[in-house]
Homo-oligomer: A and B are copies of this chain.
Amino acid sequence: MVGIADVARHANVSASTVSYVLSGKRPISPETQARVHASIKALGYHPHAGARALASKRTNVIALVMPLRSGVHVPVLMQFVTAVATQAREYDHDVLLLTQDEGERGLRRVEGSSLADAIIVMDVEMKDPRVPLMRTLRTPCVLIGVPEDADGLTCVDLDFAAAGAACLDHLADLGHRCVGLVGSPRAVYERGTGFATRVADGVARAAARRSVATTTYPCEPNRDGARAAVRDLVEAHPDLSGLIVHNESVVESVLHALRDHGRRVPQDVSVVAICPDELAERLDLSGVALPAEEVGRRAVDLVLRPCGGEDPGATLLTPELTPRATTAGR
């Protein structure tokens, strides 16, 4: 194995100089730098990660806690993961993947064994049992998702309330006065999953502001759920002309169900969705995308950036609504 001493000898400098060339923590003459770099390349030197971690108390690793059986759409999850992994490399860090099933033990292990310099926890729920622990960790933490009490914690997520409001505003701008929200399964609301209730709140508040009538309809993630939702909403509200769908599993079925009820989209009913890009594009759907890449990148930035004592609190990304073929004025 080629070590720092070998490089030092080869470049005719001391080991510390090699180290400083690598870390940039003190000025080194250009000539020396060049020689050291040449030797590093010539010998194919890579610093030993363990030794470095031991001496410097930094691992150059970010731990990422991934949900196992997620309520989140799997491709979106994957986008988070790859965005985090990719962005981590920009900071010369690697990603250690933990699974949610280790729960708080996993977090303790990371901190206790000095496995990582920072932790990113995905899919944090409103009353997440890991939140109290995260608050006490010395290791910097950022949460993807916003718990009920986010005090003292750094969080990133799409601003779901604003996303709901954006959808409603879009429909209101188009002249719709009676709008339905096809939401997540009832269990998701009861579990207190943040994004579901926040979207509903955002829609409700915007509706009040714009004097639009709204109904929220929890919807099971299958065709029958979608059919029931459309049937009940259409029957109960004959003047319903707008639909916000926040449930990626049923958007397609909702569109079919509307047609089955003789409602053309967008002539009779406009539909906006809050769902992954790919889905919206495939169905040519107006809607707000889940900016998974952006969230992942921001999470890494937040957790690694030497933020100057500032408590960044919750970073809520502004939703972007893209109008496509499923919305029209009336």
Which residues in A have some Cβ–Cβ distance to B below 8 Å? 44-54, 59, 61, 64, 66, 68, 74-75, 77-78, 81-82, 85-86, 89, 94-99, 101-102, 108-109, 111-115
Copies in the complex: 2
Contact A50 B114 (CB under 8 A): yes
Contact A44 B112 (CB under 8 A): yes
User: Given A78-B77, A95-B97, does the pair A54, B64 have CB atoms closer than 8 Å?
Assistant: no
Nearest 4 A/B pairs, CB to CB: A46-B112, A50-B53, A50-B54, A49-B113
Q: Could you say which residues of chain B place their CB within 8 Å of the CB of A115?
A: 49, 94
Q: Could you say which residues of chain B place their CB within 8 Å of the CB of A66?
A: 81-82, 85
Contact B77 A101 (CB under 8 A): no
Q: Could you say which residues of chain B place their CB within 8 Å of the CB of A77?
A: 78
Q: Could you say which residues of chain B place their CB within 8 Å of the CB of A102?
A: 89
Contact A49 B53 (CB under 8 A): yes
Inter-chain CA distance A271–B27, complex, in Å, is 70
Contact B54 A48 (CB under 8 A): yes
Contact B94 A95 (CB under 8 A): no
Contact B113 A97 (CB under 8 A): no
Inter-chain CA distance A269–B59, complex, in Å, is 59
Q: Kindly identify which residue among B59, B74, B81, B112 contacts A50, using a CB–CB cutoff of 8 Å.
A: B59
Most chain B CB within a 10 A radius of its CB, from A45, A74, A95, A101: A74
Contact A94 B98 (CB under 8 A): yes
Task: Kindly list 14 other residue pairs between chains A and B, CB separation below 8 angstroms, not including A49-B113, A50-B51, A66-B85.
Answer: A45-B112, A46-B108, A46-B112, A47-B113, A48-B113, A49-B115, A51-B54, A61-B96, A74-B74, A81-B97, A85-B97, A86-B99, A89-B102, A94-B98
Q: Could you say which residues of chain B place their CB within 8 Å of the CB of A78?
A: 74, 77-78
CB distance from A4 to the nearest CB of B (A): 12
User: Given A75-B75, A112-B44, does the pair A97, B64 have CB atoms closer than 8 Å?
Assistant: yes
CB distance from A106 to the nearest CB of B (A): 9
Q: Could you say which residues of chain B place their CB within 8 Å of the CB of A94?
A: 96-98, 115
Q: Supply 26 A–B pairs (Cβ within 8 Å), ascending by A.
A: A44-B112, A46-B109, A46-B111, A46-B112, A47-B113, A48-B54, A49-B115, A50-B53, A50-B59, A50-B114, A53-B53, A54-B54, A66-B82, A66-B85, A68-B82, A68-B86, A75-B75, A77-B78, A78-B78, A81-B81, A85-B99, A86-B99, A89-B99, A94-B115, A96-B96, A97-B97
